Amino acid sequence: MMSHTGYVMASYGTAALMVAGLILWVFADGRGRRRELKALDDAGIRRRSAPTTAGEPQ
């Protein structure tokens, strides 16, 4: 039989793990996509609607 404090700690622990996991997953997904876009850009592949020169407004 767990003490009441045990249940409270288990709840906060689970919450911390799940929230941390969610944040890390979103962060890692963003980094992965950013890397893919950079790789495409380095290979000279750009979106058709992308500006051709740096100064041109989008």
C-beta pairs of 38-46 under 8 Å, 24+ apart in sequence: none
> Is residue 34 near other proteins by the rule CB under 8 A?
yes
**Which residues have a Cβ under 8 Å from the Cβ of 2 and sit 6 or more positions away?**
10
> Is residue 20 near other proteins by the rule CB under 8 A?
no
Number of residues that bind other proteins (CB under 8 A): 31
Binding-site member from 20, 24, 46, 53 for other proteins (CB under 8 A) = 46
Nearest distance from residue 33's CB to other proteins, in Å? 4
Quick one: how far is CA 21 from the chain centroid?
Answer: 11
> Is residue 58 near other proteins by the rule CB under 8 A?
yes
